Amino acid sequence: MRKNTLVRLLSVFIFAVSFSATAAAIKDEGDSPKDTKAEIKEYIAHHLQDSHDFNITASTDEETGKIHHYGFPLPVILVDDGIQVFMSSKFHHGETVAESNGNYYKLYHSKIYKTDAAGTLNYDPEHPEHPTNVRPLDLSITKSVVMMLVTGLLLIWLFRSLAKSYGKNGSIPKGIGRFFEPIVLYIRDDIAKANIGEQKYRRYMPFLLTVFFFIWFLNMFGLTPLGVNVTGNIAVTAGLAIIVFLLTNFTGTKDYWKHIFDPLGDGMPWFGKAIIYIILIPIEILGLFIKPFALMIRLYANMTAGHVVLMSLIGLIFIFKSWVGGPLSFGLSFAISLIELFVALLQAYIFTMLAALYFGFASETHDHAEEHDGEVAHL
Amino acid sequence: MDKLINDFSFGLFIWQIILFLLLLFLLRKFAWRPILKAVEDRETGIKDALDAAEKAKLEMANLQADNEKLLQEARAEREVMLKEAREMKAKMIADAKEEAQAEANKTIANAQTAIEGEKKAAIAELKETVANLSVEIAEKVVKSELSSKEKQLELVDSMLKDANLN
């Protein structure tokens, strides 16, 4: 009983610290609520983006008005006039122009632009937010890349130790493996076997397990005070979706392609099929791309929405600035945090589940003739 | 949408794909394969053990049935043996009785024959003895009766008389 209470208190404390850490970063400088709102909006937008520094928090000096950032810089790698490598501390959080081998770069809204020595940014009159300066290919080790590396190492360490504990302990997992083994088994039995089938599920297992834990862990990291938003970044979800797309189509069987280009089979004479196929085949081909596209957008949108809602609720504290608003906002964001904890798992599950489903389509070999006869009859 | 495309970080995309594929490769080699293999081995082990247990149970049941059958047979055999023994006993007693009876009858018959013989012999001997005695007595009587002349004459007379009378 005492232990349970302790755990509860600890989790509340962690949440509180997480909020205060995030909250501390939102400094209200202007006195009018409009400024605060705009600032919170900007802060949220900034948070959702990748960052070239690993910032944990920032504070403003009351007297000088100078902003102190707490965190550490990360290496910037630019493919421009060869490869330019320097630490992101050169940007001073976008305040100064960074020089590397005679090239000048400026960090503006988390994006690096090539500028002159003075750091002049030319703005498009129609889109005042987007400078027209050249953007070199940015292969920097950003905050998201660091978090992916950390997650990768964590996963390798965790599951390597689980794999080793089998040998040492007579096929029984030990420690944290006891928690993860049922999840691995769940993915195998209820996701892979259920959607792909007993014969072919094995080849997809490494991908499904990796993608599940990768997304889940990154989602969970997104809820920590580190303030990362990796799975809420469309570049990351696009990468995952493309891998799913390639895996699906490169492992596709003859039946899979037949299903796309000749879904009716022998169920109908050729002249009948020709009329239907003019519409059906483009839809099927479109479906090939829509499936991974939906995967990409679903994960991105869910995680981004979660972060926006959570941060907006925290931001309410600074808009209300009263004894009522604070606790109310805290309570709401606490509740949303709990939901987000669930969503973190749910989205990982959905991504894995749907990927398995698509792999299942790709690897099916059973005879479709009867099924389609039925379909034609229904038509 | 415009913002989405503008914010798309190609560098992050490349890093993500590289890191993910690397992670996939490493985890597959060092984690997923050993884990799945260990789990599968364990599952087949459990399944085999359960099968073996089921088989042992079946064998046990068979054995028990066999035992039961054997016991039944033994009981039946005992029953038969007892019955046979009882019959044999009865038969033996009956035989013995019969034999005894026959023996007894024979003995009695022998005894009777012997007695009859003895009796005949005894009667014959008695007859002989009585005859001898009678002869002796007659001799003696005759001797004493006919010791004098007168008496001899008298006897002749009486005998003659008798003969006359006849």
- Mean pLDDT for the stretch of residues A43-66: 76
SS3 state of residue A58: strand
Q: Which two tokens stand for residue A33?
A: 């609520």
Indicate if the pLDDT at residue A134 is higher than 90.
Answer: no
Of A41-45, B14-18, B125-129, the least confident: A41-45
pLDDT of A347? 94
Q: Does one domain contain both A98 and A175? A: no
Q: In the prediction, which pLDDT does A11 show?
A: 64
8 Å CB contact of A243 and B20: yes
Q: How far apart are CA B164 and CA B161, in angstroms?
A: 5
Judge if A344 and A214 occupy the same domain.
yes
Tell me the mean pLDDT in the region A32-54: 75
* Among A49, A138, A214, beta carbon nearest to B23: A214
Mean pLDDT throughout A138-153?
89
Given a cut of 90, is residue A167 above it in pLDDT? no
Q: What is the pLDDT of residue A328?
A: 86
Are the C-beta atoms of residues A106 and A94 closer than 8 Å to each other? Answer: yes
In-domain check, residue A48: no
Least confident of A147-151, B1-5, B120-124: B1-5
What contacts 24+ positions apart, CB below 8 Å, involve A206-209? A206/B24, A206/B27, A206/B28, A206/B32, A206/B33, A207/A243, A207/A247, A207/A355, A207/B24, A208/A352, A208/A355, A208/A356, A208/A359, A209/A184, A209/B27, A209/B32
- Is residue A281 domain-shared with residue A230, that is, in the same domain? yes
ipTM (interface pTM): 0.81
Intra-chain end-to-end CA distance of chain B, in Å: 192
Note the pLDDT of residue A378.
41
Among A26, A67, A51, A53, CA closest to A109: A51
pLDDT band at B157 (very low <50, low <70, confident <90, very high): confident
For A162, name the nearest residue in chain B, comparing CA atoms only. B35
User: What would the mean pLDDT of A310-315 be, rounded to a whole number?
Assistant: 86
- With respect to residue A5, please indicate whether it lies within any of the assigned structural domains: no
**Confidence label for A18 from pLDDT (cuts 50, 70 and 90):** low
Which residue of B lies nearest to A210 if distances are taken between CA atoms? B24
Average the pLDDT over A251-259 and give the result.
Answer: 84
Indicate if the pLDDT at residue A375 is higher than 50: no
Percent of chain B with pLDDT over 90: 47
Is residue A336's pLDDT more than 80? yes
* Residue A82 in this model has a pLDDT that exceeds 90: no
Of B7, B26, B31, the CB nearest to A162: B31
Is A279 within the bounds of a domain? Answer: yes
pLDDT at position A209 is: 94
Residue of B nearest to A208 (CA): B24
**Per the CB < 8 Å rule, is B24 touching A206?**
yes
pLDDT for position A374: 42
In chain A, the percentage of residues whose pLDDT exceeds 90 is 25
Q: What is the pLDDT of residue A29?
A: 42
Same domain, A104 and A179: no
pLDDT digits (tens, 9 = 90+) for B66-120: 999 999 999 999 999 999 999 999 999 999 999 999 999 999 999 999 999 888 9
Residues A100 and A197 in one domain: no
Instruction: Tell me the pLDDT tens digit for each residue of B130-156.
Output: 888 888 888 887 777 777 788 778 878
Whether residues A134 and A148 share a domain: the answer is: no
Domain span at residue A62 reads: 57-140
**B2 or B22, which is more confident?**
B22
Q: How far A173 CA lies from chain B's nearest CA (Å)?
A: 10
pLDDT reading at A4 higher than 80: no
Roughly how many angstroms between the first and final C-alpha of chain A, as a whole number? 62
Residues of B with CB under 8 A from a CB of A: 4, 6-17, 19-24, 26-28, 30-36, 38-39, 41-42, 45
Average pLDDT over residues A65-74: 77
| Domain finish residue from A93, A122, A140 | A140
Predicted confidence band at A9 (pLDDT cuts at 50, 70, 90)? low
Q: Quote the mean pLDDT of chain A.
A: 80
The alpha carbon of residue A63 is apart from the nearest alpha carbon of chain B, in Å, by 35
Could you give the CA distance from residue B133 to residue A128 in angstroms, rounded to a whole number? 191
Same structural domain for residues A105 and A164? no
pLDDT in tens, A204-221: 999 999 999 999 999 999
- Interchain CB distance below 8 Å, B12 and A142: yes
Per-residue confidence (pLDDT) for residue B62, from 0 to 100: 94
Residue A19 placed within a domain: no
Amino acid at A52: H
pTM for this entry: 0.73
- Three-class HEC string of A338-369: HHHHHHHHHHHHHHHHHHHHHHHHHCCCCCCH
Of A77, A209, A235, the CB nearest to B8: A235
| Closest A-chain CA to B22 | A152
Cβ–Cβ under 8 Å, residues B12 and A236: yes
**Mean pLDDT, residues A266-277:** 78
Is residue A203 a part of any domain in this protein? yes
A9 touches chain B (CB under 8 A): no
The reply to whether A170 and A112 lie within a common domain is no
Res A193 pLDDT > 70:
yes
A295 within some domain: yes
Selected for mutation to probe chain A from B4, B5, B9 (highest A CB count within 10 Å) is B9
Q: Is B165 exposed, middle or buried (0-12, 13-18, 19+ CB in 10 A)?
A: exposed
Distance CA A161, CA B26 (A): 13
Q: Say if residue A21's pLDDT is above 90.
A: no
A238 and A351 share one domain? yes
- Determine the pLDDT at residue A377: 40
Q: How confident is the model at residue A7 (pLDDT cuts 50, 70, 90)?
A: low
User: What is the distance between the alpha carbons of residues A228 and A230, in angstroms, rounded to a whole number?
Assistant: 6
Is the pLDDT at A358 greater than 70? The verdict is: yes
- Domain boundary, last residue among A140, A159, A189: A140
Residue A14 lies in a domain: no
Interface test with B, best of A108, A135, A210 (most B CBs within 10 A): A210
Cβ separation of B10 and A152 shorter than 8 Å?
no
Quick one: average pLDDT of A319-324?
78
CA distance A135 to A113: 5
Whole-number pLDDT of residue A369? 46
A319 in the same domain as A178: yes
In this predicted structure, the answer to whether residue B163 has a pLDDT above a threshold of 60 is yes
> Of A298-302, A319-323, B150-154, where does the model show the most confidence?
A298-302
Split into its structural domains, chain A has a count of 2
Residues B24, A207: C-beta atoms closer than 8 Å: yes
3-class secondary-structure state, position A127: coil
Residue A47 lies in a domain: no
Out of A72, A106, A140, pick the residue that ends a domain. Answer: A140
**Which contacts qualify for A253-256: CB closer than 8 Å, 24 or more apart?**
A253/A362, A253/A363, A253/A364, A253/A365, A254/A365, A255/A364, A255/A365, A255/A366, A255/A368, A256/A361, A256/A362, A256/A363, A256/A364
- Answer yes or no: do A244 and A112 share one domain: no
Instruction: Quote the pLDDT of residue B53.
Output: 95
Q: What is the reported pLDDT for A6? A: 60
Statement to judge: residues A97 and A242 lie in one domain: no
| B128: amino acid identity, one letter | E
Which pLDDT score is estimated for A15?
58
Contacting A residues, span 312-371, partner chain B, CB-CB under 8 Å = none
- Tokens found for residue B80: 């038969």
From CA A175, how far away is CA A161, in angstroms rounded? 9
Mean pLDDT of A96-122: 77
Backbone angles phi, psi at A59, to 5 degrees: -140, 155
